[in-house]
Amino acid sequence: MGDFALNLGLNLIRAGVCIYDLITYPFYAVVQQPWKDRRLMKRKRVREKEIILSVLNVLD
């Protein structure tokens, strides 16, 4: 009987935490706005520069 009560208690806590996560996730997503961070991560961070080496500079 002790194992049953322990498993039941742990499963009730696990279910409660899962329900809490499902209810509060949209609120945290709206507050933190992760789509803005993703947009900033996807942007190009380095500018490309064309490097032209003359033949004389390479040989010297």
- Name the token pair of 28: 């945290």
pTM of the model: 0.53
Name which of 14-18, 26-30, 38-42 the model is least confident about. 38-42
Give the C-alpha separation, 12 to 6, whole Å.
10
Q: For the segment 15-24, what is each residue's pLDDT rounded down to a tens digit? A: 999 999 999 9
Q: For the segment 44-55, what is each residue's pLDDT rounded down to a tens digit? A: 777 766 666 665
Q: Which residue would you say has higher pLDDT here, 21 or 36?
A: 21
Domain count, the chain: 1
* Structural domain boundaries, residue 20: 2-59
Length of the chain: 60
Phi-psi category of residue 33: left, alpha or beta, with phi > 0 → left and psi -120 to 50 → alpha: left
Give the C-alpha separation, 23 to 18, whole Å.
9
Return the pLDDT at 57.
Answer: 58
